[in-house]
Structure formats: structure tokens, C-alpha cells
């Protein structure tokens, strides 16, 4: 359908693009944070597993030194220090909730066995307790490694989701920008750059559409031809820049005055044509008269009113060029009658 209705919200494309870019920025930032969190988690988990492995090995060394009646204070201090580091590292919230209680259970068993071992002096008991402590430390180390893998897989999934969302957003932004550029180029083809009204080419396209409606369904339509009075004199007296300013202000005012279904076009120079769908001659004349009076009141140059001459006609099936010529002739009759008038085309 070639009817191009006026839209007051065309400029929404820019805020939408800004919003999309903002969402993309937030998504990328979240992805960065998750990736950083994953790297930190991998490093901390490796450090934790390594410390647990050190405790496991140090327990064996401690027992061996004790059984040989050699001072093991240095190894004991090292084990205590490793436990303190793990206590600080594995605080609440470090592990997923569903894994935290099991870790604490196994960890407390290792600490309990170690406390028993370090306070034991009997050789047989030291041997038994060292084996027990080693086995429990080994279970804890293995469990921590599995939890680390589980936790990092969760983070990897989140990173994957963020990556997927980012890719989708980037593709959407590319298509959106492409669509807006295409829309902008299409708009440039049908919009007059000075007045922002539709151009003559688009007028012909829409005019043919309304002729088709008339021929198929006998749906009426009228047009108003509008010509600015003394426009050449305005350009000669005040300059072409002032003349352009008058055209721009006049076009804006016309758009404000028309109905949503009416279409305004710059036909050429200072000529503007308006298509009035579903409008008979008498109603078209009333619209034109209101528009003429409003322009005279609102559009001025150096405190002098700008006036327009108009021709109004309703399509009778004679074809596009004959109809345009008939209404254009009414404009010339308005000029000859003193200007600032609306003349009905017969």
C-alpha cells in the first residue's frame, strides 16, 4: 500500500539503537566479569587443591619424623599454616551451597585426625593415625577437585550464555542498523529535503493509488493545490534564505493542520499539493479555507502576513494529468481574482 501516513514517532529509532547498545555494553561487561571470575576461581581452586595435597604429604613426613624421634616442629607448623590458609580461603560462600556441607564435613574430619595425630606420642598410634589422616586428606583433596570442576562448569555455562546473548544482540544491532539505513535511504527517495514534505515523485505514486481505489470502488478523493502569493517578490526582497524559511515554516504548519490521513507534497518551487482521501468537494473546500485563514494568521515575514492561493477539486475519473490541470487552473483563477483565495475547480 502506497499511502504514507504521517508519523510523529519516527525519531524513536535513535533511542532504540542507544538502548540496544546499552544492553550490549551491559552484557559484555557481565561477560567480562564472569570470565574474570572464572579465571580467579580456577586459580583459587588450584591453589586450594594444592594446599590440601601439601597437607596430605606433610602428614606422612610428620609421622615419619616422629617415628624416627626427630623434631617435626617445622612440619607441624607448616601443616598448621596450611590449615589456616584453607580456613581463610574456603569461607562460607566459596563453594556452591549444595556442595559446601560435604566439604566442611570432610575437612573437619581431616582436622580432627590431625589434632589427634599431633598430640599422640605412641609409635603404633602415630602410624595408625597418620594413615587415617592421609586417607581422609586424600578423600578431601579428590572431592575438592571434583567440586572445583563442577563450579567452573557452572561458570562456563554462564559465560557461554552471555556469549550467545552477545552474539544475538550484535546480529540484531547489525540488522537493525541495516534496516534503519535502508529505511533512511528509502525515505530520502520520497522526502523533499527542504520542506520535509513528500516529493513530486511520491505524489504521483500515491495519486495513481487513489485513482485505482476510485475506479474499483468509487471511493472519492480530492486535492488542494496551494501556491504562495508573491513568492518571487519575497525572494527578491528578502533573499532566498528567507524564502526557504517561509517554505519550511509553511510546510510545518500545513502538517499540523491536516488530518492524519491527509498527505502533503511539495509539487515544485512554492507549490504544495495535498491529497484528501475519502473527501468530497464541499468538505475539501472547508479544509482549504481553514488552512488559508490559518496560514495568513500564523505565517508572517517582517510582521506582514504570508498568503496563499488555492485550487480545490474532486476527482471525476478524467485521469491524473487532466485532473491536475483542472485544479491548477483554479489556482491561476485565484491569483487573477486578487490572491489569498480558495477557488473550486469545476
Domain-located, residue 176 = no
Q: How confident is the model at residue 319 (pLDDT cuts 50, 70, 90)?
A: very high
For residues 303-330, average pLDDT? 95
Task: Give dist(CA 237, CA 235) in Å, integer.
Answer: 6
Q: Given a cut of 90, is residue 37 above it in pLDDT?
A: no
Domain-located, residue 137 = yes
For residues 168-174, average pLDDT? 80
- Lowest mean pLDDT segment, chosen from 128-142, 284-298, 310-324: 128-142
Catalytic residue (one of 80, 120, 186, 270)? 270
For residues 316-323, average pLDDT? 94
Same domain, 29 and 143: yes
- pLDDT tens, position by position, 141-155: 898 888 888 888 887
Same domain, 158 and 35: yes
Q: Over pLDDT 90: what percentage of the chain? A: 51
Task: Give dist(CA 58, CA 61) in Å, integer.
Answer: 5
- pLDDT tens, position by position, 197-211: 999 999 999 999 999
Domain-located, residue 2 = no
Same domain, 151 and 242: no
Same domain, 143 and 215: no
Same domain, 158 and 238: no
Same domain, 151 and 211: no
Number of domains in the chain: 2
Q: Edge to edge, what strands does the sheet with 263-268 contain?
A: 263-268, 271-277, 221-228, 308-314, 342-344
Question: Do 312 and 327 touch, CB atoms closer than 8 A?
Answer: yes
Domain-located, residue 190 = no
149 carries an active-site annotation: no
For residues 280-306, average pLDDT? 95
Domain-located, residue 112 = yes
Q: How confident is the model at residue 184 (pLDDT cuts 50, 70, 90)?
A: low
Domain-located, residue 290 = yes
pLDDT for the residue 187: 66
Q: How confident is the model at residue 253 (pLDDT cuts 50, 70, 90)?
A: very high
| Mean pLDDT over each residue of the chain, to the nearest integer | 87
Same domain, 68 and 152: yes
Pairing status of strand 308-314 against strand 304-305: unpaired
Same domain, 159 and 210: no
Domain-located, residue 80 = yes
Domain-located, residue 35 = yes
Q: Given a cut of 50, is residue 12 above it in pLDDT?
A: no
State which residues form the domain around 222.
200-344
Instruction: Read off the CATH number of the domain in which 117 is found.
Output: 1.20.120.30
- pLDDT tens, position by position, 82-126: 889 888 877 766 778 888 889 889 989 999 999 998 998 898 898
Q: Given a cut of 60, is residue 2 above it in pLDDT?
A: no
Amino acid at each position: 500500500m502506497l499511502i504514507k501516513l504521517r508519523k510523529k514517532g519516527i525519531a524513536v529509532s535513535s533511542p532504540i539503537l542507544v538502548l540496544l547498545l546499552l544492553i550490549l555494553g551491559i552484557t559484555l561487561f557481565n561477560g567480562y566479569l564472569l570470565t574474570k571470575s572464572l579465571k580467579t576461581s580456577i586459580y583459587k581452586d588450584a591453589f586450594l587443591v594444592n594446599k590440601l595435597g601439601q597437607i596430605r604429604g606433610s602428614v606422612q613426613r610428620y609421622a615419619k619424623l616422629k617415628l624416627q624421634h626427630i623434631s617435626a616442629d617445622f612440619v607441624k607448623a607448616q601443616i598448621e599454616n596450611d590449615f589456616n590458609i584453607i580456613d581463610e580461603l574456603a569461607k562460607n560462600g566459596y563453594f556452591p551451597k549444595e556442595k559446601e556441607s560435604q566439604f566442611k564435613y570432610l575437612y573437619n574430619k581431616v582436622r580432627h585426625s590431625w589434632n589427634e595425630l599431633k598430640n599422640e606420642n605412641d609409635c603404633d598410634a602415630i602410624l595408625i593415625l597418620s594413615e587415617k589422616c592421609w586417607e581422609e586428606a586424600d578423600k578431601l583433596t579428590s572431592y575438592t577437585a571434583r567440586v572445583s570442576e563442577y563450579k567452573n562448569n557452572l561458570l562456563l555455562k554462564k559465560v557461554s550464555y552471555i556469549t550467545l546473548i552477545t552474539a544475538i544482540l550484535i546480529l540484531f544491532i547489525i540488522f537493525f542498523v541495516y534496516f534503519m539505513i535502508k529505511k533512511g535511504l528509502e525515505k530520502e527517495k520520497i522526502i523533499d529535503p527542504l520542506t520535509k514534505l513528500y516529493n513530486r515523485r511520491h505524489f504521483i505514486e500515491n495519486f495513481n493509488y487513489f485513482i485505482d481505489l476510485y475506479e474499483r470502488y468509487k471511493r472519492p478523493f480530492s486535492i488542494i493545490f496551494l501556491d504562495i502569493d508573491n513568492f518571487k517578490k519575497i525572494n527578491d526582497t528578502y533573499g532566498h534564505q528567507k524564502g526557504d524559511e517561509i517554505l519550511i515554516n509553511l510546510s510545518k504548519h500545513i502538517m499540523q493542520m491536516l488530518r492524519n490521513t491527509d498527505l502533503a507534497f511539495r509539487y515544485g518551487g512554492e507549490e504544495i499539493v495535498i491529497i484528501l482521501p475519502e473527501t468530497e468537494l464541499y468538505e475539501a473546500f472547508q479544509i482549504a479555507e481553514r488552512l488559508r485563514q490559518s496560514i495568513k494568521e500564523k505565517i508572517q515575514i517582517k510582521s506582514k502576513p504570508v498568503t496563499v492561493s488555492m485550487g480545490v477539486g474532486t476527482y471525476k475519473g478524467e485521469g491524473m494529468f487532466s485532473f491536475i490541470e483542472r485544479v491548477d487552473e483554479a489556482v491561476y483563477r485565484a491569483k487573477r481574482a486578487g490572491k489569498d483565495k480558495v477557488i473550486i475547480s469545476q
